[in-house]
């Protein structure tokens, strides 16, 4: 097993660098409806990519899969089409995988799957407590290929202070175990470079292996391409960063049950320390 790594960009040059470095999925992010309101005041990624970005990336990559996050299920508005038309556009533009964010009910998922009609892989982004409450009902619906647990919005939904509290408090484990029962591929959260991040990536990678997670998003802690103008430097960041993650994976793949338990204990301690710092600011 190796974790499928996803990187968000609409820049064809960066997409090619990421692909050549071994990123499994290039992630075009078209979600913007309601996002500003949900994440107001937070330092989060709000991309608002377009269908033309999907076309541009499609022309650029040859080995990585093209993942497109659309908007939550919605009707047409003054400045945007409805969900069915949005899905038509992104599939026509070449999406290999379509991701639905902010679903809440089985009805949302049915609308999504009926619009996709098996023409691409389907990926649900589980990121609010209503969806968690309805998860068992949703998992019974045929046609769901993958589910990613989105820790950013999900921790906000539970009014927590730090996204990885969900890893420390057992919520992610419970969700993974529930999804696994239905034979659906799953992943969670994002990772930075090994040795970087509020909670260093090596500890999170071990949690992925302990929970049999198969997907993770490469965060800005891995590479914030907006701050790197030299493409040679960017290439080095990606090559070294991916190599570091794969080396770490090789190590944790050999962990014993005791080592996974010790890693989780360290994660819980580090999360507690981070939350305390946040509260004392």
Number of domains in the chain: 1
Tens-digit pLDDT profile for residues 223-236: 888 887 889 999 99
pLDDT of residue 35: 63
Q: Which domain holds residue 66?
A: 4-279
The tens digit of pLDDT for each residue in 166-219 reads 999 999 999 999 999 999 999 999 999 999 877 899 999 999 999 999 999 999
Phi, psi at residue 124, to the nearest 5°?
A: -95, 135
Total-model pTM: 0.93
CATH of the domain at 219: 3.20.20.60
pLDDT confidence tier of residue 142, bands split at 50, 70 and 90: very high
What distance lies between CA 222 and its chain's CA centroid?
Answer: 13
Residue 29, token pair as written in the block? 């992010």
């Amino acid at each position: 097993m190796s974790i499928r790594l996803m990187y968000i960009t609409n820049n064809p040059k960066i997409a090619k660098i990421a692909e050549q470095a071994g990123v499994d999925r290039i992630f075009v992010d078209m979600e913007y409806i309601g996002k500003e309101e949900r994440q107001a005041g937070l330092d989060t990624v709000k991309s608002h990519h377009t269908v033309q970005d999907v076309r541009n990336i499609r022309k650029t990559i040859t080995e990585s899969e093209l993942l497109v996050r659309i908007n939550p299920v919605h009707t047409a508005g003054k400045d945007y089409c409805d969900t069915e038309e949005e899905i038509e556009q992104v599939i026509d533009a070449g999406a290999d995988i379509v991701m639905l964010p902010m679903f809440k009910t089985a009805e949302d998922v049915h609308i999504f799957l009926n619009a996709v009609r098996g023409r691409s892989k389907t990926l649900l982004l589980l990121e609010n407590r209503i969806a968690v409450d309805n998860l068992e009902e949703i998992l019974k619906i045929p046609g769901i290929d993958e589910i990613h647990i989105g820790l950013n919005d999900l921790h906000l939904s539970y009014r927590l202070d730090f996204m990885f509290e969900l890893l420390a408090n057992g919520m992610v484990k419970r969700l993974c175990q529930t999804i696994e029962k239905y034979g659906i591929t799953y992943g969670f959260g994002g990772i930075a470079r090994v040795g970087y991040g509020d909670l260093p990536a090596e500890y999170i990678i071990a949690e992925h292996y302990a929970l049999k997670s198969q997907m993770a998003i490469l965060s800005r802690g891995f590479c914030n391409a907006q701050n790197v103008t030299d493409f040679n430097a960017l290439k080095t960041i990606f090559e070294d960063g991916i190599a570091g993650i794969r080396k770490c994976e090789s190590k944790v793949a050999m962990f014993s049950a005791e080592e996974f338990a010790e890693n989780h204990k360290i994660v819980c301690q580090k999360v507690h320390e981070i939350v305390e710092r946040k509260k004392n600011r």
